[in-house]
Chains A and B, each alone.
Chain A
């Protein structure tokens, strides 16, 4: 019997955001899946650019987790690299950082497969390239649309990186199209979606009526459309003053905060691993993102049968189409607010759409459905 297939999974960070959470779900599924008799076992080794709260989850579900940088500060190596960069020696900066990162990976078994999980891990791959064995399989799982991809991979490196990948997996069709436009070989590109969380346990007893609420979830900022959520909250304050609007995922960055004393109709709450605890009957999920290829929160809302109103971005028109939610152009703020109002005013319709989404999520996004397809795509001929 040959040894296990070693997969290095490179991920930008271990924060509680979509890309790392999607990985954690696959790792958990993989850890709980018995390998078929005769099949080669697979070892997942995670290399994370930055530490974060998902480290423990991943450590429990994979062969190893190697963290290259602390969560909120620079390591000594990157401090030196930053100094070199500021002194006008970017090449030296890259070499210093690459040396430090390669040193941290020297005890890992050589990979048969390198999975770049999210474009945010491109830098790790670039710095470790010399450490990778010839002939390894390179798989890129893209979770990014235009601006995020542009930020993660320099324009002059994008085509080369994507073009040499053995497989490029995209979380939705628009991302797949973007990958091809960015230089990936069309034959190498396929859609590999992401999984919902484990099915929640239904609350016991009859649901008690709650104050209607609109919730948005994510790291506040331009990409997630926090300004749009605030605009909708203002509209609802005029038309539905009884509705509570909140944003779960932390306060806006200091540069994006309003003047002290501003009375905002949108309450900001910290990021949490249990954002759905407060969601009940009468809750509508608003996803006002400018760029969001396939937000996990929509799958999570679907798993709970909650109605979703979303801006048309990434894979959301497909996921929420056919009566599974509301999708409107995100820049049409009045339409966005009206769709939310409709979801609040027509609870039976909202419940029906939530139920349709629940069915879709169970059928196509359960970990047991997504996992095997993901692993097969990652391993390719090594499967």
Chain B
């Protein structure tokens, strides 16, 4: 496979949407970094809208695909072999196309660029939903290089999808830059924070179950789950649980916010009970703020905690009582919280664009097998 030549290769970054979720946020950090390097002509094609759209536009020329009529989508889903191609984004033909997530892979592959890179932010469950095996097998050979968002994704690609390790580079999720402390910043007074889409995969139900169990032994600390539409089924169920236990005045369910800043616990922790999460950005962000994290062994959060010497904060998958005990212990021990926060901060200080984005860029340009 050839390396991409020329002084300023033309790169098109294809994102599935501009939502304020992990992959689009990390993708935006990469686009911003790449645009500031001046080493490439960067363009962005977004397959769906979202609140990050203006940020993408500020970073690079951005095209947002118009939504397809539902009937076309329905036909494409229902009839095998029917592929509803999206219109090509405007601009020069790219030399490199980066599909940011598996959900963006098929439209990105349809551009037939000389080099196709797929940045995978999904694990098996989501991967199967957004790119079923039958379609995946057709697309795998067309990808020149895979970027895995963490070791668990790399393991999926190599061990379960059969890709050559030489075609896979592992780059953990990263932020734009380490957050700066803001004196006098607003504080919601939350001690236990959960964050993510209001869905079972992110564990909103487990978050509420843990706090409900805590309620049986004393007063529940002020807590909040931030993210998810109030109309989402899992959010409604979580609300029903809180009301049933009588802690809906102590535990808030907050829809998606522009800025998570005021919600970060100053004297508490992030509880991250996701059932499947390759390398949760919110855990990286917590670490960079020295906020300790309690989680299950279901993805990159556990790997990050272990790497930080915090394996004792990782419970077995589905072990709600194990989570609760860890939360109780940390809340009761300020010194332990501070130690854990510092350890996680050390482990996450390299997870910023300046240090990680070059590895993604290398996957886009270097010659490979």
Contacts and interface: CB of A to CB of B under 8 A. Distances in A.
Interface stretch (A25-33, A44-52, A98-106, A249-257): A249-257
A348 B185 CA distance: 61
A259 B70 contact: no
Given A227-B318, A231-B318, A331 B123 contact: no
B46 interface: no
Interface string B192-212: 000000011100011001001
B248 interface: no
Interface in B233-282: 234, 236-237, 240-241, 244-245, 275-277
A147 B237 CA distance: 8
A230 B316 CA distance: 11
B213 interface: yes
Interface in A215-272: 222, 227-228, 230-231, 233-235, 253-260, 262-264, 266
Contacts of B200: 222, 253, 255-256
B90 interface: no
A37 B124 CA distance: 64
A329 interface: yes
Given A83-B74, A86-B70, A258 B215 contact: no
B301 to A, nearest CB: 11
Given A147-B240, A258-B276, A259-B317, A329 B216 contact: yes
A335 interface: yes
A332 interface: yes
Interface stretch (B10-18, B52-60, B286-294, B320-328): B320-328
A254 B128 contact: yes
Contact of A333 (B213, B241, B244): B213
Contacts, number: 104
B62 interface: no
B134 interface: no
A259 B123 contact: yes
A16 B136 CA distance: 35
B318 A264 contact: yes
Contacts of A262: 297-298, 317-318
Contacts of B236: 147
A345 interface: no
Given A228-B209, A254-B125, A259 B152 contact: yes
Counting chain B residues whose Cβ lies within 8 A of the other chain, the interface size class is 35 or more
B299 interface: yes
Contacts of B276: 257-259
A227 B321 CA distance: 11
B124 A231 contact: no
B213 A331 contact: yes
A334 B299 contact: no
A147 B240 CA distance: 8
Interface string B332-362: 0000000000000000000000000000000
Given A254-B128, A262-B318, A331-B245, A227 B205 contact: yes
A257 to B, nearest CB: 6
A134 B128 CA distance: 51
12 contacts: A83-B70, A83-B71, A222-B205, A227-B318, A233-B318, A258-B275, A258-B296, A259-B298, A266-B318, A290-B241, A331-B212, A337-B321
Given A83-B70, A253-B200, A290-B244, 11 more contacts: A147-B237, A222-B200, A227-B206, A227-B209, A234-B321, A254-B128, A258-B318, A259-B275, A259-B298, A260-B123, A333-B209
Interface of A: 83, 86-87, 146-147, 222, 227-228, 230-231, 233-235, 253-260, 262-264, 266, 290, 329, 331-335, 337
Q: A-B pairs with the 3 shortest C-beta distances? A: A331-B212, A231-B320, A262-B317
Interface of B: 70-71, 74, 123-125, 128-129, 152, 156, 160, 199-201, 205-206, 209, 212-213, 215-216, 234, 236-237, 240-241, 244-245, 275-277, 296-299, 316-322, 324
